[in-house]
Amino acid sequence: MPQQPFDGRVKNFLLNLARVLNMRIEKVLELYLYVSPETVKIVEVVERGGEVVGVRLAVRSARRQDTWYYVAVGKYGAKCTCEGNTLGGKICRHIIIGVITWNMASLLKHGKELDLSQLTWLRTSEREASE
């Protein structure tokens, strides 16, 4: 994924994301840097009315190299197949990676940053960042 032309905007987005999640920027940056063709596969970019309204992707487990989690993020919520989300209903690191990927897709396709204020589920959910 070419990231260079968007460095400043991506940085701002990551700062905003850290603020919304009440998470340290270092942790958000770590998740951002985890995204690579070997660890994240985009399954579908959902577009409606000239904007990216959601993304489906597979994220490789950081602990188990052969395990992939399937994530869907959109305006009305997010789902992941990992235990933290399916059993605990928590915002896991895969969902955060999904939001970061969604922003990248939106920037690449429409030059538009993802508006985090629309994602009310991000603020209200519990977070599980261990896996």
3-state secondary structure (DSSP) of residue 69:
strand
CB of 33 to Zn ion, least distance (A): 18
Q: Which of residues 83-112 bind Zn ion (CB under 5 A)?
A: 85, 92, 94
Name the minimum Å distance from CB 83 to Zn ion: 8
Residue from the set 80, 99, 105, 107 that interacts with Zn ion by CB under 5 A? 80
Contacts with 31 (C-beta within 8 Å, 6 or more apart), sequence order: 93, 96, 97, 100
52 binds Zn ion (CB under 5 A): no
SS3 at position 128 = coil
Structure tokens that stand for 83 in this block: 């235990």
Interface with Zn ion, residue 40, by CB under 5 A? no
Tokens 């589920």 -> residue = 121
Binders of Zn ion among residues 54 to 73 (CB under 5 A) are: 69
